[in-house]
A and B are shown apart, each in its own frame.
Chain A
Amino acid sequence: NAGVTQTPKFQVLKTGQSMTLQCAQDMNHNSMYWYRQDPGMGLRLIYYSASEGTTDKGEVPNGYNVSRLNKREFSLRLESAAPSQTSVYFCASSEALSGRGETQYFGPGTRLLVL
Chain B
Amino acid sequence: GQQLNQSPQSMFIQEGEDVSMNCTSSSIFNTWLWYKQDPGEGPVLLIALYKAGELTSNGRLTAQFGITRKDSFLNISASIPSDVGIYFCAGRFQGAQKLVFGQGTRLTINP
> Counting chain B CB atoms within 10 Å of each CB, which of A40, A45, A106 scores highest?
A106
CB distance from B61 to the nearest CB of A (A): 16
> A97 CA to B40 CA in the complex, in Å?
26
A43 touches B97 (CB 8 A): no
Instruction: Encode contact with A along B30-55: 1 for CB under 8 Å, 0 otherwise.
Output: 11010100001111110010100000
Count of chain A residues with Cβ under 8 Å from any Cβ of B?
A: 24
Does A1 lie at the interface of the complex (its beta carbon under 8 Å from any beta carbon of B)?
Answer: no
Number of A-B contacts (CB under 8 A): 52
Contacts of A43 in B (CB 8 A): 43, 88, 101
Chain B residues touching A, range: 20 to 34
> A104 CA to B104 CA in the complex, in Å?
16
A90 touches B102 (CB 8 A): no
Does A2 lie at the interface of the complex (its beta carbon under 8 Å from any beta carbon of B)?
Answer: no
B31 touches A102 (CB 8 A): yes
> A22 CA to B40 CA in the complex, in Å?
18
Contacts of B41 in A (CB 8 A): 108-109
Does B59 lie at the interface of the complex (its beta carbon under 8 Å from any beta carbon of A)?
Answer: no
Partner of A97, one of B6, B97, B104: B97
A104 touches B102 (CB 8 A): no
Does B103 lie at the interface of the complex (its beta carbon under 8 Å from any beta carbon of A)?
Answer: yes
Contacts of B96 in A (CB 8 A): 98
Does A66 lie at the interface of the complex (its beta carbon under 8 Å from any beta carbon of B)?
Answer: no
Given A43-B88, A106-B44, residue A100 in contact with residue B50 (CB < 8 A): yes
Does B1 lie at the interface of the complex (its beta carbon under 8 Å from any beta carbon of A)?
Answer: yes
> A57 CA to B44 CA in the complex, in Å?
24
Contacts of A59 in B (CB 8 A): 1
Given A42-B88, A59-B1, A98-B92, residue A4 in contact with residue B42 (CB < 8 A): yes
> A78 CA to B23 CA in the complex, in Å?
33
Residues of B bordering A, CB below 8 Å: 1, 6, 9, 30-31, 33, 35, 40-45, 48, 50, 88, 90, 92, 96-99, 101-104
